[in-house]
Every structure is written in structure tokens, then in C-alpha cells.
């Protein structure tokens, strides 16, 4: 016979049910927190995808890679190792592409002013299209008046690179590779180049450049992105503010070749040591900025703050860090509204380029930081763009 009465058993059952219910109530906040944490973690997940964007003139596929985190989207294609999108939110959370771009591969093939492309083998200008290396004179294409610009007629911005996705702790990216043969645009040596774009979880776009050669040559690589933090095609950037970590700049002649040593920015329109609107002194220049600024550096080769660009209207801020010795500031003086995308045109001063690099005409200027790369050496530079909202 059962020692417990029926009523006693019902009371015990009731207590057990009550305890179970209390346990569920106690666990509910924990489960909610775990669910919220899992949702946030999913939001932080990053992705990188690949698609065919078009066909290059040699018949090879032009691939486009899309990098995403929870906030930003970056696109890069193999043609020219070109950034075609950097989408980032404004202070209201509205995301816009803040780098100038074209909509189709055919438009890029037709020609453009290096929108987002990698320039090389030598970015910027070489005076007279010539230089002497180890007693040998090399004559290059004169594709910018009397001078050589951005690697020549078929520079790196016109080559179809080979891309592969990369992923790591806290980032997704694409690694783009190119082999420039000996004699390419009359440069000596076979140059093997890689450019890696990484989008990090904390909204940093990292650019890493590597190169090796089998003969002495000259190398200067940069990305030629055109930035408008209000959004591509949203007017000019004259009200954007700019700060530069530069006490000196390189004055230039009428063909934009440096005249000689760097000079102080003090008392000139080139003084951005205190943040000011890009349009503040632009009328005191010859049509706009297209000048190399000598960066203040604590130590050679370290990643240091170079520039801060702000758009007051959107609240977007871009900080630029680099290992390079200089930055070419170009205020898109050559744009005239004929190019554009998404039914928007790109006007004069419709963007600003902050091209981190070595100095123009360095192969002919032994007093400038060297750009000669020899067998057994490694060319290695980094630039990082950090995107914020205020």
C-alpha cells in the first residue's frame, strides 16, 4: 500500500510544477541574452563573394569581389585591381558609395581617369619620360604632355589581374596578382606584384602592396580612389574638410614635375596642418590641388596617420594611415561632368584623391626617398582607410 495519501501526492506534484515554472522564468533572461548575443554575432559575420563582371579585351573574365561586414560593403574587380564601391553609412544610417565609379566593365575598358585603380609600375609622373638606372637610360611613354604618368599607355590600371578570396580573424578580402614582364612599357625586370584589399570588422579598408623583381627596376604603387564622402556624384567636395600630417610639400612646374626640394607649407594654400575646407584656398592654386605632400613621420616604414577627411553634411569621416613617405592630393581638376553613374554626373572637384606614394620623378631625384627595387629585395607598403561617423 502507498505510504502517501492521494492529497499529499497532488500537493507534491503542484510544488514540482511551480518549481519548474520558476526555473523557466529564471532562465528566460539568460536565454534572451543568449539569443541576442547570437543575433549580434550573426550581424558581425563577414562575407566575401565573387562574380563575373565582364570580359577583358584579351578575352579573360573580369571578376568582381564583394566584401561585407555588418556595416560596410566594398567591391573590387580584377581589371586594374580597381575599387568599384566603398559603401558606408552616414549619421542617419543611410549607406552610400563614397568612391567614384562606373557602372559597367565596358565603360572601364573604354577609359577613365583611374577611378579606384592601382597605378604602376610607377605611379605619378617621371619627367621627360626617362630615367637612368645603373648607367642605363630607359625611355618611357610620354603620355602626359612631355612626361610619363601612371605607368604609361598600358599601365597596371589597364591590366586584368588574377584574384583570389582571402579570409582571416576579423577580416575578409581579395588578393590580386599581376606579373609585369621584362620590358613592359619599357621598364626593366620581370615584376611580380600583389595587392590585397581587406575589410575588417571595425570598418577599416586595408591595402597592402608587395612586389619582387629579377632585375633592378623602379616601383611606386598607389590606389587612385576618388573620394566624395557625401556620395559619388553628390556635388563637389569643396566643403569637405581636410587635415594633413605634412609640414612640407613639393612645388611643381607647369607640367606638374617637382621643381626641387620640399618647402614649408607655412603661409601657403597648401597648409592643411589645421583642418580646413578644401575649397578655402583652392582659388589660390592653379586650378586646384595636384601636389605631393611630404608626410611627417616618427619612423620609416611604420603605419602612421596621414590624413583626415570629413564631410559635414553626412557626418562621414575617413582617416588615412600609411607607411608611404608622401601623399598626392588631387582635387579631380580634370572632371567635367561627362562621366558619372546612377544618373549622376561627376563635376570638377567632384572628389578628392589621397594617393599615398613615393614622390613624383624620384628616379631622377637622388635626394628623394629611393624607389629602386633590386633582386632579393621586397617592395612592401600599406595604407589603411578607417571609416567613422560623427
Domains and CATH numbers, the chain: 47-389 (2.70.98.10)
Give the pLDDT confidence of 363-390 residue by residue, as tens digits: 999 999 999 999 999 999 999 999 999 9
Give the pLDDT confidence of 69-91 residue by residue, as tens digits: 999 999 999 999 999 999 999 99
Q: What is the average per-residue pLDDT within 135-158? A: 97
Closest CA to 121 of 146, 157, 78, 163: 157
Q: How far apart are CA 194 and CA 302, in angstroms?
A: 20
Alpha helix stretches (DSSP H) within 78-179: 105-110
**DSSP one-letter code for 3:** S
Give the pLDDT confidence of 315-343 residue by residue, as tens digits: 999 999 999 999 999 999 999 999 999 99
Query: Other C-beta atoms within 10 Å of 218: how many?
Result: 23
pLDDT for position 45: 84
**CB burial readout 345-359, b (16+ within 10 A) else e:** ebbebbbbbbbbbbb
pLDDT for position 300: 81
Closest CA to 127 of 292, 221, 259: 259
Q: Which residues are catalytic?
A: 224, 355
Quote the pTM value. 0.88
3 state DSSP class of 62 = strand
Q: Does 137 score more than 70 pLDDT?
A: yes
Q: How far apart are CA 206 and CA 242, in angstroms?
A: 20
Amino acid at each position: 500500500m502507498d505510504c502517501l495519501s492521494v492529497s499529499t501526492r497532488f500537493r507534491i506534484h503542484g510544488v514540482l510544477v511551480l518549481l519548474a515554472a520558476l526555473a523557466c522564468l529564471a532562465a528566460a533572461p539568460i536565454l534572451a541574452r543568449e539569443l541576442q548575443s547570437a543575433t549580434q554575432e550573426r550581424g558581425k559575420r563577414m562575407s566575401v563573394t565573387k562574380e563575373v563582371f565582364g570580359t577583358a579585351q584579351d578575352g579573360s573574365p573580369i571578376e568582381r569581389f564583394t566584401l561585407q561586414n555588418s556595416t560596410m560593403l566594398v567591391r573590387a574587380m580584377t581589371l586594374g585591381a580597381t575599387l568599384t564601391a566603398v559603401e558606408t553609412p552616414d549619421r542617419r544610417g543611410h549607406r552610400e558609395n563614397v568612391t567614384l565609379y562606373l557602372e559597367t566593365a565596358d565603360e572601364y575598358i573604354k577609359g577613365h581617369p583611374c577611378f579606384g585603380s592601382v597605378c604602376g609600375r610607377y605611379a605619378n609622373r617621371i619627367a621627360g619620360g626617362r630615367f637612368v638606372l645603373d648607367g642605363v637610360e630607359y625611355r618611357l611613354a610620354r603620355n602626359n604632355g612631355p612626361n610619363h604618368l601612371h605607368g604609361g599607355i598600358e599601365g597596371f590600371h589597364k591590366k586584368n589581374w588574377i584574384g583570389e578570396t582571402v579570409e582571416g580573424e576579423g577580416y575578409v578580402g581579395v588578393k590580386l596578382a599581376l606579373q609585369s614582364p621584362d620590358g613592359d612599357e619599357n621598364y626593366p625586370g620581370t615584376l611580380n606584384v600583389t595587392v590585397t584589399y581587406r575589410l575588417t570588422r571595425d570598418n577599416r579598408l586595408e591595402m597592402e602592396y608587395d612586389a619582387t623583381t629579377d632585375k633592378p627596376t623602379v616601383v611606386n604603387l598607389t590606389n587612385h580612389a576618388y573620394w566624395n564622402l557625401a556620395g559619388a556624384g553628390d556635388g563637389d567636395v569643396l566643403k569637405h574638410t581636410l587635415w594633413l600630417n605634412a609640414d612640407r610639400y613639393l612645388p611643381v612646374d607647369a607640367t606638374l614635375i617637382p621643381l626641387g626640394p620640399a618647402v614649408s607649407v607655412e603661409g601657403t594654400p597648401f597648409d592643411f596642418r589645421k583642418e580646413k575646407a578644401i575649397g578655402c584656398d583652392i582659388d589660390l592654386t592653379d586650378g586646384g590641388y595636384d601636389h605631393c605632400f611630404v608626410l611627417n613621420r616618427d619612423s620609416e616604414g611604420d603605419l602612421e596617420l596621414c590624413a583626415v577627411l570629413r564631410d559635414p553634411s553626412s557626418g562621414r569621416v575617413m582617416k588615412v594611415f600609411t607607411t608611404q613617405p608622401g601623399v598626392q592630393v588631387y582635387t579631380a581638376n580634370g572632371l567635367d561632368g561627362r562621366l558619372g553613374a546612377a544618373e549622376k554626373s561627376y563635376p570638377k572637384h567632384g572628389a578628392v584623391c589621397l594617393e599615398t606614394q613615393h614622390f613624383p620623378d624620384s628616379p631622377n631625384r637622388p635626394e628623394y626617398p629611393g624607389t629602386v627595387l633590386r633582386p632579393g629585395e621586397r617592395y612592401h607598403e600599406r595604407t589603411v582607410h578607417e571609416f567613422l561617423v560623427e
